[in-house]
Chain A
Amino acid sequence: MPREMMFAEAIAVAITEEMQRDPNVVFYGQNMAMTERDPFVRKFGKERVRITPISETAELGIAVGAAMSGLRPIVELYMAEFMLVAFDEVINEAPRLHYMSGGQVKVPCVFKAGFGFAAGWAGQHSNCTYHAMMGIPGLKIALPSTSADAMGLMRSAIRDDNPVVYLHHYMLTIDKSPVPDGEHIVPFGVADVKRPGTDVTIVATAWMVKKSLAAAEMLAKEGISAEVVDPRTLSPLDVNTIVESVKKTGRLVLVDQAPRHASAAVVIAGEVAEQGFKYLRAPVKMVTALDTSVPYSETLERYVLPSEEKIVDAAKSVVAMQAAAV
C-alpha cells in the first residue's frame, strides 16, 4: 500500500535507508547534528553525521576528497544559493576530476539544497540557479516534484558514481503525496508524464509541476487537454519523452521558475526546435520568471514569477494559434 508522506520526510527516509544500506554514506552540513538528540546522529553516530561551520568551500571540497576516497558524502547546504559561495567545487572540481584523470577517480557525492523559496525571501534566497549547472559535463541535477520522486531521486543520487546536485523546492516541503512501498528508486534521465493530454504539452519541474497540474485542471474545464511532463532530472535530460509528447500534441509550453534567459526552458526549447520542429503546430511558448531579481513584496513577487493563470493563458494562446492557422 502506498503511504502518504511529506516531501521533506521522503527525502529524510531515503537518506536514512541509504545510510543503513551503505556504511560509506556520510551526511553533514551547517546547523545539523548539533546534539545527540538529532535523529541521524542517534542512528549513525558522529563519525558519519557531522555539523560543519559556515564554510561551503571546505564542506564541498571535503566532500570531493572524501568521495574520491570511497565515501559517498551528502552535503546539506539548505539554500541553493549557498552553493554559489563554493561554485568552483560544484562546477570546476567535482565534475571535472573523473574526466581529467582519464577515468581514474570517481567523485560520488550529493550536494543537497532547497531552492526557489517564493515566500518573501527576496533577491538572494529565492533563486533558481540550476541553469548555471545544466551544461556542465559530469554533473547531474535532480529536481523532484513529488514525495515519491523526492525519495526515488535521492536514492539514485546517493548511489550514482557522479556528483549530483539535488535541489528540493522549498514550497513543496510540507506537501503530502503517496510514496510506493519498498525500495522506491527513480532512475535519472527518465521524464515522467504527470498528466496525460492531447492538445498541448506543458514541461515543468519542481514547484512548477504543481502549478502546471493546477493549470491543466483549469484548462480541462475549458475543453483543452494538457499533458504535463516532468523531466525530473535536468542533467541528464530526457529530451526524447518531451519530443514524443510534442509529436502527439503539436504544441509546447515550457514553465520555469528561473528568469527567462537563465532557465532550463531555453535549453529544452533549443532541443525541441532542432529535434521536434516538424511536429510543432505553434511556436514554443515559455512561461518563466521575468528577467528580474526576485522582489520582496508579495505583489511584486507574484508579478515576476510564473502562475497558474500565466500557464493557462500561454496554453490557450498556442492552442488558439493553431486553430487560427487551420
Chain B
Amino acid sequence: MVLASQLSKERLTWMYAQMLRIREFEERVKRTFVEHPGVIRGHAHLGDGAEASIVGSLATRNEADPVMPSYRCHGYPLVLGTPARALMAEIYQRRDGICKGFGGSMHLADPAHHFPTASGIIGQGIAHAAGVAYAAQVKKSGQVVYSFFGDGSSKQGAFHETLNLAAVWKLPVVFVLENNMYQAYTHYKLEDANAVAGDPLSQKAKAYSIPGQTVDGTDVLAVFDVVAGAADRARSGEGPSLIESRFYRLSPHGNAITVPPVPTQFQEHEAIEVYGNKAEFEAAKKNDPILKFRAHLISHGTLTDLDAKKVEDRVRTEMDEVVKFALASPMPAPEEATKYVWA
C-alpha cells in the first residue's frame, strides 16, 4: 500500500490540478446562473469544499475501480477522465452532454470512465454501489467500489440496509460518508443521533461491525491514507469500511428553488442565510482545502509558487474553454425524447 508521504511530485501535482479543476468547474457552474440565466435548469449541487475529500479518495483507485457518487456529482467524473466539456454541456442541457441532455446535473453518468450512474434520490446510490460491488465479487474482477454520499444519506434506510448486507457479504466497497455539515438546509447536529451524543458519524460502522474512521476531509493527504487503507482491506476480501470525511460545503445546498420565469441562482450559504452564523462560514473559508494543499506543496518544496500558478492558469484556461464549448453546443432535437426509454 502506497502512503501519501510516498507520492511522487507528479502525482501530487496531478492531485492539486484535479482539486483546482473541481473548484474552477463549480465556480463556472455557479457563475452561469448570473451570466447566462436559464442555461441551467432545475437544481444543481456544487462540490466546492469537497475537493480534498474527492481527490484524496479517488487518488487511491486502481484503474478500473467504479465510483458511485450522490447527486452532488460534478467533481468525481472530472477526476476520472470524463471530458469536462461533456459534463458542462450536460448541465447546460445540450446535445453534446455526457448524457445527451437526458440527465442534467443530478444524473451524470459515464460508465466508460467507471462512473456507472448517480441517483438523485438521497441514499439510494449507496445500494447501487453495493450492487456494483456484488457484481465485482461474483465476477472476481478485483475491483473496489467507491461509494460517496452525504451526511443526510446516513439517516436513510438504504444506508443501514446496505451497510448490513455489504458487511454480511463482505462486499468490496468503501463507503465514504461526506459530512459537509449540512443535510440540505439542516445542520447535521440537529438530525444525527451520533452528533447529538457528541460522537463522530463513523460510529455508525460499529452497528455493522465494520471499521469506521473519521478523517479531516480538508486534508487531501490524510484522506488518501485512510481511504487507501479501506480500499486495501476491501480488495483483499475483508469487506467494507465506513469513512466519515469531514469538510465544509462552501456553497449552499443548491441554487435557489424558484418557479419560472423567476430566475434562480445561488444565494448565501445556509450558515448565513438560515442560521445567521457568519463566523462559522468565514472560518470554513479560511480552512479552504485547496489553499491548504497549495501551502503544503510549496512549504515542502514540491511546487514553487510559479509552478502552482502555471497549474492554476492551465486549469482556468481549460474551464473557460469548457464554458464556451457548452454554450455553443446545440440543444437536442425534440423528437430525441422518446429514445432510451427501453434498452
For B158, give its contact among A57, A68, A98, A100 (CB under 8 Å): A57
**Contact across chains for B131 and A162 when beta carbons are under 8 A apart:** no
**Chain B residues with CB below 8 A from A224, complex form:** none
- Mark A288-310 against chain B: 1 for CB-CB distance below 8 A, else 0: 00000000000000000000000
On whether A65 and B135 interact (CB within 8 A), knowing A57-B127, A57-B161, A137-B341, the answer reads yes
**Contact across chains for A61 and B127 when beta carbons are under 8 A apart:** yes
Give the docked Cα–Cα distance between A16 and B25 (Å). 50
**Contact across chains for B124 and A61 when beta carbons are under 8 A apart:** yes
Specify the chain B residue showing the minimal Cβ separation from A68: B116
For B132, give its contact among A48, A55, A69, A138 (CB under 8 Å): A69
Give the docked Cα–Cα distance between A105 and B126 (Å). 17
**Contact across chains for A70 and B135 when beta carbons are under 8 A apart:** yes
Q: Is A192 located at the chain interface by the 8 A CB criterion? A: no
**Chain B residues with CB below 8 A from A53, complex form:** 161, 164-165, 168
Give the docked Cα–Cα distance between A70 and B131 (Å). 11
On whether A102 and B116 interact (CB within 8 A), knowing A58-B127, A70-B139, the answer reads no
Give the docked Cα–Cα distance between A138 and B341 (Å). 5
Q: Is B121 located at the chain interface by the 8 A CB criterion? A: yes
Q: Is B107 located at the chain interface by the 8 A CB criterion? A: yes
Give the docked Cα–Cα distance between A108 and B126 (Å). 19
Q: Is A93 located at the chain interface by the 8 A CB criterion? A: yes
**Chain A residues with CB below 8 A from B343, complex form:** 98, 103, 106-108, 161-162
For A104, give its contact among B68, B109, B129, B161 (CB under 8 Å): B109
**Contact across chains for B124 and A101 when beta carbons are under 8 A apart:** no
**Chain B residues with CB below 8 A from A20, complex form:** none
**Chain B residues with CB below 8 A from A66, complex form:** 131-132, 134-135, 138
Q: Is A241 located at the chain interface by the 8 A CB criterion? A: no
**Chain A residues with CB below 8 A from B340, complex form:** 98-99, 101-103
**Chain A residues with CB below 8 A from B112, complex form:** 104
A61, A103, A107: most-surrounded residue (chain B CB, <10 A): A61
**Contact across chains for B131 and A62 when beta carbons are under 8 A apart:** yes
Give the docked Cα–Cα distance between A71 and B137 (Å). 11
For B107, give its contact among A47, A58, A59, A101 (CB under 8 Å): A101
**Chain B residues with CB below 8 A from A88, complex form:** 121, 124
For B117, give its contact among A47, A55, A70, A105 (CB under 8 Å): A105
**Chain B residues with CB below 8 A from A98, complex form:** 340-343
Specify the chain A residue showing the minimal Cβ separation from B156: A57
Q: Is B217 located at the chain interface by the 8 A CB criterion? A: no
* Majority DSSP secondary structure for residues of B touching A: helix
On whether A71 and B99 interact (CB within 8 A), knowing A55-B165, A61-B127, A65-B132, the answer reads no
Q: Which of B116-169 contact A (CB under 8 A)?
A: 116-117, 119, 121, 124, 126-139, 157-158, 161-162, 164-165, 168-169
**Chain A residues with CB below 8 A from B131, complex form:** 61-69, 73
Interchain Cβ contacts within 8 Å, total number: 153
Give the docked Cα–Cα distance between A193 and B19 (Å). 63
Q: Is A76 located at the chain interface by the 8 A CB criterion? A: no
**Contact across chains for B99 and A104 when beta carbons are under 8 A apart:** yes
**Contact across chains for A102 and B127 when beta carbons are under 8 A apart:** no
- Mark B83-95 against chain A: 1 for CB-CB distance below 8 A, else 0: 0000000000000
Q: Is B339 located at the chain interface by the 8 A CB criterion? A: yes
**Chain A residues with CB below 8 A from B99, complex form:** 100-102, 104
**Contact across chains for A47 and B137 when beta carbons are under 8 A apart:** yes
Instruction: Say which size band chain A's interface belongs to.
Output: 35 or more
Q: Is A60 located at the chain interface by the 8 A CB criterion? A: yes
Give the docked Cα–Cα distance between A247 and B168 (Å). 57
On whether A48 and B138 interact (CB within 8 A), knowing A61-B124, A102-B103, the answer reads yes
Q: Is A50 located at the chain interface by the 8 A CB criterion? A: yes
**Contact across chains for A64 and B127 when beta carbons are under 8 A apart:** yes
**Chain A residues with CB below 8 A from B139, complex form:** 70-71
- Mark B103-118 against chain A: 1 for CB-CB distance below 8 A, else 0: 1000101111000110
**Contact across chains for B161 and A100 when beta carbons are under 8 A apart:** no
**Contact across chains for A105 and B111 when beta carbons are under 8 A apart:** yes
Q: Is B97 located at the chain interface by the 8 A CB criterion? A: yes
Give the docked Cα–Cα distance between A106 and B165 (Å). 24
**Contact across chains for A61 and B135 when beta carbons are under 8 A apart:** no
**Chain A residues with CB below 8 A from B102, complex form:** 99-103
**Contact across chains for A101 and B128 when beta carbons are under 8 A apart:** no
**Contact across chains for A58 and B130 when beta carbons are under 8 A apart:** yes
**Chain B residues with CB below 8 A from A106, complex form:** 343
**Contact across chains for B107 and A93 when beta carbons are under 8 A apart:** no
**Contact across chains for A57 and B157 when beta carbons are under 8 A apart:** yes
Q: Is A32 located at the chain interface by the 8 A CB criterion? A: no
**Contact across chains for B138 and A62 when beta carbons are under 8 A apart:** no
Q: Is A97 located at the chain interface by the 8 A CB criterion? A: yes
**Contact across chains for A69 and B66 when beta carbons are under 8 A apart:** yes
Specify the chain B residue showing the minimal Cβ separation from A47: B138
CB distance from B130 to the nearest CB of A (A): 5
Q: Which of A158-180 contact B (CB under 8 A)?
A: 161-162
- Mark A106-143 against chain B: 1 for CB-CB distance below 8 A, else 0: 11100000000000000000000000000001100000
On whether A162 and B342 interact (CB within 8 A), knowing A47-B138, A48-B138, A53-B161, the answer reads yes
CB distance from B120 to the nearest CB of A (A): 8
**Contact across chains for B135 and A58 when beta carbons are under 8 A apart:** no
Specify the chain A residue showing the minimal Cβ separation from B338: A137
**Contact across chains for A60 and B107 when beta carbons are under 8 A apart:** no
Q: Is B100 located at the chain interface by the 8 A CB criterion? A: yes
Give the docked Cα–Cα distance between A267 and B137 (Å). 42
A58, A99, A108: most-surrounded residue (chain B CB, <10 A): A58
Q: Is B101 located at the chain interface by the 8 A CB criterion? A: yes
On whether A62 and B130 interact (CB within 8 A), knowing A88-B121, A103-B340, A106-B343, the answer reads yes
On whether A61 and B162 interact (CB within 8 A), knowing A97-B117, A138-B342, the answer reads yes
Pull 9 A–B residue pairs with CB atoms less than 8 Å apart, ordered by A: A57-B127, A58-B130, A61-B127, A62-B165, A65-B116, A65-B131, A70-B135, A99-B340, A100-B102
Known contacts A52-B165, A98-B342; 6 further A-B pairs (Cβ under 8 A): A58-B161, A61-B127, A61-B131, A68-B135, A73-B131, A102-B109
Which 3 A-B residue pairings sit nearest by Cβ, starting from the closest? A65-B131, A61-B127, A69-B135
